[in-house]
Structure 1
Amino acid sequence: MARSAYLGSLGASDVLDVRGNEVEGWLARELLPHLETTAAREVRFDQARFSGDAGFSDAAVSVALVFAETDLPRGLSLAGARFGAPLTLDRCTVGASEAPAFLDLSGAEFTDPVVTTGLKVTGGVRLDGSSFAGPVRISGLLDDVTTDGTRFQAESVLRPEGGRISLNGARLERPLTIAGTGNAKLSGLRGVDASNLILADLDLSECPFDGALHLDFVRFEGTCQFSRPPGGVRRTWAFPPLWRWTSRDCIADEHGWRASTGPRSKRDGWDGSLSTASAAQATHLYRALRKAQEDAKHEPGAADFYFGEMDSRRRATRRGGERILLWLYWLTAGYGLRASRAFSCLLVVLLLGIASQVAFGVPDSEEGQSVGLIAPVGGGVVTGRLVPLDPELKAPMSRRWTGKRTADAAEATINAVVFRSTAQKLTNTGKWIEAGVRVLGPLFLALALLSLRNRVKR
């Protein structure tokens, strides 16, 4: 009775100070009904230690609660509480390494700011179903954060120092910034409108983007780490027998479709447990994320996502002609991002063009003329005319491979690539070879220059 009378006598300028004390479970339960009716300015638990459950679930709180350097070995539960005043947790320890505990704010409603700094939570932070009308600032060693159905109505910031964060089902009505340090990971975005989402310095290697909305408006800042394809050289009985995956950033959703399609040699190393997205879904995800990277002026990330978009599109399309074109584009230039492939194709065209011209195109006889005579029927004057003769190649194959013929063939082939005419005479077959080089050579040269430009931009 005396405690109840004291709590009821507190005025608007008073502070209920429990700092430095050992708070047992019964005391916390006795405080519950007074948190709504007391006229005190705030209740402080600075450097206090809760030996029992710190349970304020379903409480109606009209007074500011301050926990500073508070030890909460069995956790802090504010689940279902209704706060009409600020909540502050500063350098509090929730749980212990041998006995993990939770900071439970699930289902709670907050109309004023919620500020937590320097938290150490061993079990995790539960924000599921809670509603924040005021700004939220949560930082510290949070271990595991869940926000299923959480409603952020004001600009908020989460700064986890390690641990995992799941944003599945969160409702972002105002910008939410998640800025991680250490190995903080984002593990889910399903159902989230990402137009108000800012991600900074997070590990996104295990985060599936399938199910998120407006990903083209998400903002990436700092250094966000994405997944990578499996490394190492691989062997298979199919063509090519030796190959490796291109090193680049990729999203977890690509792991899903690659681990479930294609031959076993192509599936090994991909983690199908990260996502169930199909190649078609990954195409749309990559396209949206590429735009987000381009808007952030992050050219390397945009280029990697463009590669992933085109590769997923090639696997997803059912139109044979489109698939062939995309396969050729991948093979010859890596979708305009692998200059080495385009230069290799150009070199192959040059070498084949030179060898073909030596074997079939460079003649061993000069262009000549013959005289044709025309005698009219029934007699009369015989007339004649000069008929041009095409250069011919009559030497046996073993005698065609000489230094001079190779130099002439090289001159004709290189001139064909750069659209220059040559004085070298060619056989009819050589002219067809030259026409082919004039088509393929400039094409691969243009692809090589385009790929080189994209590499420089990276």
Structure 2
Amino acid sequence: MTPATPGPPSTVPPAWSHCAHGAAPATDPVGCRGIRVPGHTACLAHLGEAERAAHLGDLAPGADIDYRGTPFTPELLDQLLAALRDPGAGRPHIGVARFDGAAFSGDTWFTEVTFSDTARFDWATFSGNTWFAEATFSDTARFDRAIFSGNTWFTGATFSKVAEFAGATFFKTAQFNGVTFSGITRFVGAAFSSDVGFVQATFSSDAGFAGVTFSSDTRFVGATFSGDTRFVGATFSGNTWFTGVAFSGDAQFGMARFEVASSLGPLACGERLVLDGAVFQQPVTVEIAARQVSCARTRWASTATLHLRHAELDLRDAVFEYPVLVAARPTPFPLPGSADSLPETELSGRDPGVRLASLGGADTAHLALHDIDLSGCRFAGAVHLDQLKVDGWCTFATTPTGWGRRLPWWWSRRNTLTEEHHWRVRAARDPGRATALGWAPPPADAPALKPAAVAALYRQLRKSLEDGKNEPDAADFYYGECEMRRHDPRRPRGERVLLTAYWALSGYGLRATRALAWLGAATAVTITVMVLWGLPADDPKPTTTGRQVAVGQEVVLTTATPDPVNPTGPLTGRVTAERFEKALRVVINSVVFRSSGQDLTTTGTYTEMTSRLAEPVLLGLAVLAVRSRVKR
């Protein structure tokens, strides 16, 4: 961007009594807009030599001055500053300074000038290079709508109170390196057309950069922001460096545009860093340590890697057009070109892990998560969860452990979604007790999902885990899916009864101990029945009978085994070691689909048939459950 060509002179006179030098009714009815010097009809620039010298001679260091609208040449400015120079300090000293609308032609030097009261440069124009290096502004400093056409240096300047640069335009390099802003700072709507630097700048109060346009390289390396900071709607068209930046309060980058930035950070934020609605148009690496990082509605138009620490992350409605990786950084970020790490003073004592709060409304087909805490993540509303990549040590919510309220059943620990926690609290007869047992209560803005919707979430995420070869955690999500189907009143009753039986017998084929317990119980019952009623009193012995038809002829014999005789007598008398060993052999053979060959009573025969059907199924369910836990 180049300085704009001046337009025709304004026909609207200024609010002060102005010089009007050079006014022409046809072409410039206003003329010179400089305020008249007291006691004269001309501004400082158009006073006669003797009158100007007399006026400047009346000035003393620390004097209040008013030169609104006055055109300054470098020579005229030098004369003014010489009149205000403090001999003791060796630098110009000004009280109230009013340069609103002043026009500075050529190079402008305010180096080391002290402004002990309000300094106003609103709408001022600086045509050449401008220096405010080492200047001191002890009160409010205003540069609203000022135009800097050349290079500008505020290096090392000190702003003790409010610093206003709203709408200011910098056409060439602007350097604010090492500047101290002790009061509220506003660059709202400012435009930087070339390189800009705030290296090692200090902002001790709130800072506003909303709507600022950074058209070239921008450096905030090592800057410190003690208050809340707003870059809302800012545009970063060139390379951008926020390396080593520390935000003690909130940092707002909502709706900001990063057009070519290849990195953001490493930076630290003691509170909340907001990137809601921000756009990243090129491959970027984001490195942030913060309490909260909000990326709702962000648009990632290229590949990106987000390395985070200490943060609770929100990715609601984010748009991932290319692969994006979100990973927790276990160690502090190193500072480029230094042996030091990014200071995390505001975050000391916090868990360095990263917790994902929500993926609602996001298309997760291109998203990968690595070492992220998903125990509180809300997945409802996200699409393509089956393509979400969950790698590393990602953790989910778990079920509470303890005895159920209505059934004497111990809750086994498994991975769950937070949506199941919310559903169980809402569906409980006593939500308070459900919460006390360990089910997480739903927040006020959480949607009330039906079991079918929660089952769909489990199904999609199970597919994602299976694709990642994480079979054990996928098994937990299959359990959760079946639980939601079992509790879904819209499912056919027969299906829910079958699922209930499947759950009770083996935890949907995922609880080996439950299946083995049932197998052990069934085996014990079968053995007991066999010992008491299934085995005959004595093993039947084959009996041979026959008859001789005639002397000298063939003898016809028949061998038969008599039917087993049911045992009689007291039940306790039937319990012997021999009968127990026989019953055990019968049951063990039944479990593996084999016939024992033991003679049995009618009761024993039917018991063996039932055992050969039920007990191998229970054994198979136990084996299936073990396999689901060890498969990779």
Q: Do Structure 1 and Structure 2 share a fold, with TM-score over 0.5?
A: yes
Question: Does the Cα contact within 8 Å between 1:416 and 1:437 map onto a contact in 2?
Answer: yes
Cα offset for 1:262?
A: 4.1
Q: Which residue of 1 aligns with 2:290?
A: 142
Q: Deviations over 1:208-265 (max 9, x none)?
A: 111111101111122112111113x3364x332xx33211211111101111224546
Q: Which residue of 2 aligns with 1:329?
A: 502
Question: Does the Cα contact within 8 Å between 1:24 and 1:53 map onto a contact in 2?
Answer: no
Question: Does the Cα contact within 8 Å between 1:190 and 1:212 map onto a contact in 2?
Answer: yes
The secondary structure found in structure 2 opposite 1:395 is: coil
Q: Which amino acid aligns with 1:9?
A: G
Change (3 A) 1:400 1:59: same
Pick the aligned partner of 2:590 from 405, 416, 430: 416
Q: Deviations over 1:108-132 (max 9, x none)?
A: 2232115222312123122222222
The secondary structure found in structure 2 opposite 1:335 is: coil
Are positions 1:289 and 2:461 aligned together?
yes
Q: Which residue of 2 aligns with 1:223?
A: 393
| Aligned mates of 1:206, 1:158 — CA distance in 2 | 19
1:302-341 residue pairs with structure 2 within 5 A? 302-316=474-488, 318-341=491-514
Q: Which residue of 2 aligns with 1:203?
A: 373
Q: Which residue of 1 aligns with 2:363?
A: 193
Q: Which residue of 2 aligns with 1:451?
A: 625
Q: Which residue of 1 aligns with 2:612?
A: 438
Q: Which amino acid aligns with 1:401?
A: V
The secondary structure found in structure 2 opposite 1:119 is: strand
The secondary structure found in structure 2 opposite 1:226 is: strand
Q: Deviations over 1:391-414 (max 9, x none)?
A: 121412333222222222222222
Q: Which residue of 2 aligns with 1:350?
A: 523
Q: Which amino acid aligns with 2:203?
A: F
Q: Which amino acid aligns with 2:439?
A: W
Q: Which amino acid aligns with 1:288?
A: Q
Q: Which amino acid aligns with 1:314?
A: R
Q: Which amino acid aligns with 1:426?
A: L
Question: Does the Cα contact within 8 Å between 2:211 and 2:235 map onto a contact in 1?
Answer: yes
Q: Which residue of 2 aligns with 1:22?
A: 180
Q: Which residue of 2 aligns with 1:271?
A: 440
| Aligned mates of 2:322, 2:449 — CA distance in 1 | 28
Q: Which residue of 2 aligns with 1:173?
A: 321
| Aligned mates of 1:211, 1:33 — CA distance in 2 | 39
Are positions 1:62 and 2:234 aligned together?
no
| Aligned mates of 1:173, 1:415 — CA distance in 2 | 60
The secondary structure found in structure 2 opposite 1:259 is: helix
Question: Does the Cα contact within 8 Å between 2:205 and 2:228 map onto a contact in 1?
Answer: no
Q: Which residue of 1 aligns with 2:424?
A: 258
1:351-370 residue pairs with structure 2 within 5 A? 351-365=524-538, 366=540
| Aligned mates of 1:155, 1:140 — CA distance in 2 | 17
Q: Which amino acid aligns with 2:178?
A: G
Change (3 A) 1:308 1:27: closer
Change (3 A) 1:199 1:291: same
Q: Deviations over 1:301-335 (max 9, x none)?
A: 21221221222222125322211221222222222
Change (3 A) 1:397 1:55: same
Q: Which residue of 1 aligns with 2:126?
A: 4
Question: Does the Cα contact within 8 Å between 1:256 and 1:278 map onto a contact in 2?
Answer: no
Q: Which residue of 2 aligns with 1:45?
A: 198
| Aligned mates of 1:251, 1:286 — CA distance in 2 | 8
Q: Which amino acid aligns with 1:35?
A: F
| Aligned mates of 1:79, 1:226 — CA distance in 2 | 34
Question: Does the Cα contact within 8 Å between 1:8 and 1:34 map onto a contact in 2?
Answer: no
Cα offset for 1:368?
A: 7.0
| Aligned mates of 1:27, 1:223 — CA distance in 2 | 43
Question: Does the Cα contact within 8 Å between 2:236 and 2:261 map onto a contact in 1?
Answer: no
Q: Which amino acid aligns with 1:116?
A: L
| Aligned mates of 2:563, 2:456 — CA distance in 1 | 57
Question: Does the Cα contact within 8 Å between 1:339 and 1:455 map onto a contact in 2?
Answer: no
Q: Which residue of 2 aligns with 1:78?
A: 231
Change (3 A) 1:266 1:395: farther
Change (3 A) 1:397 1:46: same
Q: Deviations over 1:28-71 (max 9, x none)?
A: 649x64513xxx3x211111113454322222321211101101
Identity %: 32
Aligned length: 433
| Aligned mates of 2:198, 2:298 — CA distance in 1 | 27
Change (3 A) 1:438 1:62: same
Cα offset for 1:155?
A: 1.1
Cα offset for 1:266?
A: 5.7
Change (3 A) 1:189 1:395: same
| Aligned mates of 1:452, 1:139 — CA distance in 2 | 41
The secondary structure found in structure 1 opposite 2:501 is: helix
| Aligned mates of 2:471, 2:272 — CA distance in 1 | 36
Q: Deviations over 1:71-121 (max 9, x none)?
A: 1223332212233222220111113xxxxx222221222321152223121
Cα offset for 1:280?
A: 1.5
Q: Which residue of 1 aligns with 2:580?
A: 406
The secondary structure found in structure 1 opposite 2:426 is: coil
Cα offset for 1:134?
A: 2.0
| Aligned mates of 1:117, 1:104 — CA distance in 2 | 14
Are positions 1:159 and 2:307 aligned together?
yes
Cα offset for 1:417?
A: 2.0
| Aligned mates of 1:25, 1:15 — CA distance in 2 | 24
Change (3 A) 1:266 1:411: farther
| Aligned mates of 1:47, 1:450 — CA distance in 2 | 62
Are positions 1:239 and 2:404 aligned together?
no
| Aligned mates of 1:286, 1:306 — CA distance in 2 | 7
| Aligned mates of 2:418, 2:470 — CA distance in 1 | 20
C-alpha RMSD over aligned residues: 2.9
Q: Which amino acid aligns with 1:123?
A: E
Q: Deviations over 1:346-404 (max 9, x none)?
A: 22222111111122111125267899xxxxxxxxxxxxx99975212141233322222
The secondary structure found in structure 2 opposite 1:227 is: strand
Q: Which residue of 1 aligns with 2:600?
A: 426
Change (3 A) 1:369 1:134: same
Structure with larger RCO (C-alpha < 8 A, sep 6+): 1
Q: Which amino acid aligns with 1:57?
A: A
TM-score by length of 2: 0.63
Unaligned runs of 5+ in 1: 96-100, 372-384
Structure with the higher fraction of residues in helix conformation: 1
| Aligned mates of 2:478, 2:441 — CA distance in 1 | 22
Question: Does the Cα contact within 8 Å between 1:368 and 1:390 map onto a contact in 2?
Answer: no
Q: Which amino acid aligns with 2:225?
A: L
| Aligned mates of 1:266, 1:360 — CA distance in 2 | 47
Cα offset for 1:165?
A: 1.3
